[in-house]
Amino acid sequence: MATVFIDNRPYQMDGKQNLLRGCLSAGLNLPYFCWHPALGSVGACRQCAIKQFKDEKDPRGKIVMACMTPAKDGARISIDDPETVEFRRAVIEGLMLNHPHDCPVCDEGGECHLQDMTVMTGHAYRRASIQKRTWRNQYLGPFVHHEMNRCIQCYRCVRYYRDYAGGTDLNSFALRDTVYFGREREGVLESEFAGNLVEVCPTGVFTDATFHRHYSRKWDLQFAPSICVHCGMGCNTSVAERYGSIRRTVNRYNGAVNGYFLCDRGRFGYEFNDSQGRLREARLRGRAVPREAAAGYLRLLSASGAIGIGSPRASLESNVALRELVGSQHFFAGIAGREAEVLELMLQVLRSGAARTPTLREIEEADAVFILGEDIGNTAPRMALSVRQSIRQKPMEIAAKLRIAPWLDYAVREAVQDVRGPLFIASPYATRLDGIATRVFRGGPDELARLGFAVARAIDPSAPAPDGVPEGAGEVAEALKSAHRPVIIAGAGLRGTALIRAAANIARARPGARLAFVAPEVNSFGLAMMGAPALDAALEAQGETLIVLENDLYRRAPGPVIDRFLERFHHVVVLDSLDTATGARAEMLLPAATYAEGDGTFVSSEARAQRVYQAFVPAEPIQESWRWLGDWQSLDQAIAAVATAFPLLYGITAAAPPASFRMAGRKIPREPHRYSGRASMLANIAVSEPRPPADADAPLNFSMEGYSGQPPAPLIPFFWAPGWNSYQAVNKFQEEIAGPLRGGDAGVRLIGPGRQAAAYYEPVSRDGEPRDGEPKDGSEWLIVPAYHVFGSEELSRHAPGIRELSPQPYIALNAADAAQFGGEAECLGQRVPVKVAPELPAGVAAVPAGIPPFLGFDLPRRVAIRKPL
């Protein structure tokens, strides 16, 4: 820590950081643009100018940029010095020369960092009479809207997009006061992290194009703290509602998990909430019925015994409610055999204490990463963004040797150039991270697992050896051994327990290594922790009634199998938020609240339990599944029931404060205090102002009234602080800038470090089985699922933008294999175009996962591919 005197008052700050970060951490207001806590300092905008004095006796001092100046112990600086105050005002005046001042028609208005900083510096009157430059804007795809006239040339967009997120198709062009930030040619932004530009841009150049279609001012939105449901990472989000529809999703900072960034599936998938396919009424044999009638019929059916099928995309509360309703022996997990096996094994490994699982922040800080058989760029995109940062860790040594502060972003990058830290990727097909990998290994799932076992063996000779010695294992082992903070990543994508066992062995062999598992869905881990039998067991179960919870079984098993299964029951009840193929076969359909409309708890891939809260009360009869199924009076009762039934899940009670929680005796408002139209919004229906709904489940209000300070992390609906209307108000909620939120980040880890030492797992045995890439009889291929960030996930597919970017069905083969088929091939009963993927091993084919028609096939498996007749 360093003591820095700011306007003659001492402040404690991190001496390894710069003065801007120190000042902001100290809670002081110092305006800035080009600096970003995740991007570091470059000194372009000159907005954070301060005076620095040599010592107490130096009366003049000199102007320096706070972001570029280290916070040295004993430093004396001034923010209030008149010369710097005037300078900062002049910088804003300069930035405003070309700015169109179109705030009233700009989507950023009211949450604009440029507005905030302009007010902060006191620049209020335009003195320049010069003509402003104007630009032609570009179409950048369904997610990001472009309005270049508003640009203030802070360079944040390109620094984020290129340097941080690894994109290449956004750039800065030309010079002077006419720098253009865009693509070389108009077109869809290629990066799956482009949506963060909306929050990275300090003004309205890049705005949310989905929000634009159903726009509302930030102050008019009702927010709820939420969790992204589109993969298993558990990124924290805020969902925002007005007039009964979800208008957008923004990042909700969590220092341990998503930090400042989301992926585009997470940010823009929310549009499924109001998509065409939404189920908004209870239907009995196709006819709408009132909530009470539907609930009554459900009670009647379940009284005489029912089979229940849970879901990895439903909350713990809903799954437990179904389990209690049907009885534990009649409850099944709703995921198919191999996926269930993999998840169970992941839990077993983590609980055994083979290794601690890292947070995403810890992955960012890793100095060697080995990704074993999981395409995280598509199955856990936010994790891939963290891995992208990890490759900068080791080269930081170069900068440190040259005494370049790690936050001096361009200086570091210029010193490091293209030196990258160790990243090894083993995958059957190309992944988005291949370009930055030290080395890429290709092979089928078993081949890759063998590599994993060999790496473990190369680290620790007492680890069991696989057959043969896969080439390159030693190199991976050496990198993991010599790293300080190695991370091993594996997942459920290829449904291979061998990959999980191999990853566990590596972690076991290298004490201190962290082991990250990627679970496929938002609550896969929560469901797995309930330990219920898999769907396969349910297929054998007998009963009169089947209750399916938020699960399209046709995505879990082949269509004919599910057809036969459903036919066995007299009554099929499906609870879901969307119309699904399973729902279409139901006798009764019950509309379930989405994560944005209901409360509940999800467990992420790092076994972090996190709560979601409804952003608004959905129109009847929509309600949480647990409310349909259980007889609990409140969320807290539901949580208590979960904790009682499953000791392993007891920790979820602490994931967020209970409904009775109050701050200064008051609840926390979901609406900003400037929320407008409360008295008039519904005046076309009734002129009296309706009473806001009560919320018995959460310490949150459906109102602008309530506690006006900072709530604990799990209960922050939106970030706002006086003078900080943009997202960057998050500065005021952190213990220190880019650190944890005050009082700790949201969520509770359910699995602590294990106590007993784990044993090694046995490697894959070959047992005369053909290798992955050896067709059995020349006609059978190993078909592996290929994941797509846009398209593979069920719910987000209903968002128009996501659907637009989803690939069409295909079958991918390497060039030689593809040559056998010409333009089309038939596989798994589907006729699809052939795509050449040169990197695929011979005999291995890939089809898009989760994208029709390849639903419900238990992949990977060996099947024939034929030339269509």
Partner 1 sequence: METPLTQNARPDCPPDRAAYERAGGYQALRIALRNLTPQAVIDEVKKSNLRGRGGAGFPTGLKWSLIPKDAPHPRYFAANADEMEPGTFKDRLLLEGGPHQFLEGLMLASYATKADVAYIFLRGEYVLAARRLEQAIAEAYAAGYLGRNILGSGYSLELYLHSSVGRYMCGEETALMNALEGKRANPRTKPPYPGTSGLWGKPTTVNNVETLCCVPHIVNRGAEWFRNLANTSSRAKDGGTKLYGASGKVKRPGLWELPMGATAREVLDRAGGMRGDLRLRGLLPGGASTDFMTEEHLDVPLDFTQPQKVGTRMGTGTMIVLDDRTCPVGMVWNLEQFFARESCGWCTPCWSGLAWVERILRALEEGQGKPGDLERLEFQTRFFGPGRTFCALAPGAAEPLQSALKYFREDFERHIREQRCPWS
Binding residues for partner 1, rule: CB under 8 A, are 42-47, 49, 62-64, 68, 87, 90-91, 93-95, 97-98, 127-131, 152-153, 155, 172, 174-179, 398, 402-404, 408, 410-411, 414-417
Taking the complex as a whole, the smallest distance from the CB of residue 687 to partner 1 amounts, in Å, to 51
Give CA angle at 709 (703, 713), nearest 5°. Answer: 90
42 vs 144, which CB is nearer to partner 1?
Answer: 42
Taking the complex as a whole, the smallest distance from the CB of residue 413 to partner 1 amounts, in Å, to 9
51 vs 230, which CB is nearer to partner 1?
Answer: 51
29 vs 172, which CB is nearer to partner 1?
Answer: 172
Taking the complex as a whole, the smallest distance from the CB of residue 606 to partner 1 amounts, in Å, to 35
625: which 2 tokens?
């599944």
Taking the complex as a whole, the smallest distance from the CB of residue 95 to partner 1 amounts, in Å, to 6
> Residue-wise over 424-448: b if at least 16 C-beta within 10 A, else e?
bbbbbbbbbbeebbbebbbbbbbbb
91 vs 643, which CB is nearer to partner 1?
Answer: 91
The partner residues of 394 in beta bridges, in order of sequence, read none
Taking the complex as a whole, the smallest distance from the CB of residue 418 to partner 1 amounts, in Å, to 9
What does the alpha-carbon distance between residue 502 and residue 466 come to, in Å, rounded to a whole number?
10
What does the alpha-carbon distance between residue 234 and residue 658 come to, in Å, rounded to a whole number?
20
The partner residues of 827 in beta bridges, in order of sequence, read 830, 865
> What does DSSP assign to residue 315?
-
CA of 18: how far to CAs of 35, 288, 365, in Å? 11, 62, 20
590: which 2 tokens?
């019950």
98 vs 386, which CB is nearer to partner 1?
Answer: 98
**Bond before 860 cis per omega within 30 degrees:** yes
- The dihedral over CA atoms of 777, 778, 779, 782, expressed in degrees to the nearest 10, equals 90
50 vs 454, which CB is nearer to partner 1?
Answer: 50
Taking the complex as a whole, the smallest distance from the CB of residue 37 to partner 1 amounts, in Å, to 18
Nearest CA to 241 out of 689, 706, 675 is that of: 675
42 vs 316, which CB is nearer to partner 1?
Answer: 42
Taking the complex as a whole, the smallest distance from the CB of residue 415 to partner 1 amounts, in Å, to 4
99 vs 485, which CB is nearer to partner 1?
Answer: 99
Strands (E), 480-617: 486-491, 514-518, 545-549, 571-576, 588-591, 600-603, 608-612
What does the alpha-carbon distance between residue 425 and residue 443 come to, in Å, rounded to a whole number?
11
Strands 282-284 and 245-251: unpaired
CA of 488: how far to CAs of 318, 485, 577, 762, 867, in Å? 33, 10, 36, 18, 40
Taking the complex as a whole, the smallest distance from the CB of residue 87 to partner 1 amounts, in Å, to 6
Write the DSSP string, 22-62. HHHHTT-----SS-BTTTBB---S-TTEEEEESSTT-SS-E
CB atoms within 10 A of CB 149: 17
Taking the complex as a whole, the smallest distance from the CB of residue 155 to partner 1 amounts, in Å, to 8
163 vs 774, which CB is nearer to partner 1?
Answer: 163
CB atoms within 10 A of CB 157: 23
Return phi, psi of residue 767, to 5°.
40, 35
Taking the complex as a whole, the smallest distance from the CB of residue 91 to partner 1 amounts, in Å, to 5
The partner residues of 327 in beta bridges, in order of sequence, read none
259: which 2 tokens?
């930090």
The dihedral built from the CA positions of residue 493, 611, 644 and 556, taken in this order, carries a sign that is: negative
Taking the complex as a whole, the smallest distance from the CB of residue 163 to partner 1 amounts, in Å, to 12
325 vs 405, which CB is nearer to partner 1?
Answer: 405
62 vs 766, which CB is nearer to partner 1?
Answer: 62
57 vs 127, which CB is nearer to partner 1?
Answer: 127
130 vs 664, which CB is nearer to partner 1?
Answer: 130
What does the alpha-carbon distance between residue 232 and residue 372 come to, in Å, rounded to a whole number?
17
What does the alpha-carbon distance between residue 78 and residue 60 come to, in Å, rounded to a whole number?
11
Taking the complex as a whole, the smallest distance from the CB of residue 838 to partner 1 amounts, in Å, to 28
What does the alpha-carbon distance between residue 508 and residue 503 come to, in Å, rounded to a whole number?
9
267 vs 413, which CB is nearer to partner 1?
Answer: 413
Taking the complex as a whole, the smallest distance from the CB of residue 183 to partner 1 amounts, in Å, to 16
Taking the complex as a whole, the smallest distance from the CB of residue 173 to partner 1 amounts, in Å, to 9
Taking the complex as a whole, the smallest distance from the CB of residue 129 to partner 1 amounts, in Å, to 8
68 vs 522, which CB is nearer to partner 1?
Answer: 68
**Bond before 560 cis per omega within 30 degrees:** no
Taking the complex as a whole, the smallest distance from the CB of residue 417 to partner 1 amounts, in Å, to 5
494: which 2 tokens?
């290829």
174 vs 694, which CB is nearer to partner 1?
Answer: 174
Contact 595, 227 (CB under 8 A): yes
Contact 2, 58 (CB under 8 A): no
Return phi, psi of residue 6, to 5°.
-110, 120
Write the DSSP string, 124-163. ------PPPP--------SSEEE-GGG-----HHHIIIII
Q: How many residues does this entry show for the chain?
A: 869
